[in-house]
Structure 1
Amino acid sequence: MEAFDGDRSLGSALGEAPTATDAEDQAIARLLQRLDTPKATAASHKELVRRNSQNQDQTAQNARPASDQKPPKAIEPSQPAVDQASPPAVSTPEPDAPTNAVNEAPTDPDDWSEELTAIDLELQRIGWDRANESIYLERAFGHSSRHRLTRFSDLVAYLKRLRDLPASSDARTAAIPLRRSDLVNQCDEILKRLNWQQQQARDFLQSNFQVGSRQQLSDEQLLGFNMLLEEQLLPPS
């Protein structure tokens, strides 16, 4: 056992006893007797107790089995930042089709070359040049160029009407084709005035033309369908 005053050694002593604790106490008592001063005794006693406690803790730590020693606490990785991106957009369901509309299936082809070639042949048969065609198109569709026909149904209606015209027809008086887009809009307006539900309009179409969609009707049939619908607007006799 050794006594210190700060970092200066004041002396040392040994003790012998049946237990380690008794031996340490005995060594402390001998050392205090050797120093024999109140100041040294008080300071050395505190230092002895402090150093003895440190030695005991270090000895116990070294003697502890490795399996009982706690590993140093690992540094936890920083948590990822919360994603501050905008919340996902809530999809808005598309509005239902009007309840009084009759199903229309898109059937427009991608290639119109066959119909355009047929139109050229009919124009040659009738004897019309570009000027005559422009006059006729202006009357029928409101513009003078065939290339401004954006609806396949209008192109087909134009071709059908040309096939019905005799040769040398006057472009200023010849019968113009039924515009399918106008017929469809007219049909929608009548159905709206009737306030029919979709199933009711479909049943009416099925009972009169045995089809489930206006798309399956020719222009003449669609005109006839509109006429039948208009009759439903008349008051009962």
Structure 2
Amino acid sequence: MKFFSELCHVDSNNIIVRITGYENNEKLGSSLGQASNVKEAEELAINSLVERIQTKIIIPSQNNNSNYNSKVIGKNDPKIKTDNSIKRSDSFKDKLNSDNKNDEPQDWSKELSQIEVNLKRIGWSKAQENDFIEKTLGYKDRNRITEYQEIILLIKLLQQIREGEGISSLKRFIDKDQMILLSDNMIKKLGWDLNYAREYLKNNFSKNSRSELENKELLKFNLMLISKLDNVSE
């Protein structure tokens, strides 16, 4: 069995990874692991996944009768072989770095330039820019943003806006009901069930439902879903 590792959440205390197991290019399942470092989180997730797979596999006995007997493979059954190599997702390391304030650049000129490029593409005036920033991030203008992650959030929001699109048509970024509806559609496209979506939300925002999120958090949540959909389509 080969394993694919994807980082789901990281903060100062915990790292959560999702391990997906494959055998002959067939997906066997996935499991989450949480620990203080990547290696331990991956080991916990792998052990959990292997245990689950081993208890689910049923091998029919050599019997032509349709009411054949079956057995469940146990934990130590040699039929399950694991490959200790772990392939990590391309965004794994980037996400670790992006949540580490020590790795945030002191010079934001590159990011500010990206904002200008997007604003020019969309065709907004300074007044329209300020209106959008106030309605989405809660600041009167860009100069009041002091957190690097919020600058990145602004860039990602602008990248989702089409050329010539006006503020009045951007309810998907402003109205909470519209944002929840948008996330519903994306969760459905990702094929997530309710339990997995709730687990993903809790791991990343420590909230039990989207209604508990502030607008800014809900924006981040939706952008994370958009990123996952982009990865699926690639």
Superposition TM-score, scaled by structure 1 size = 0.34
- Pick the structure with more strand per residue: 2
TM-score by length of 2: 0.34
Higher Rg of the two aligned structures:
1
1 or 2 for the larger relative contact order (CA 8 Å, sep ≥6)? 1
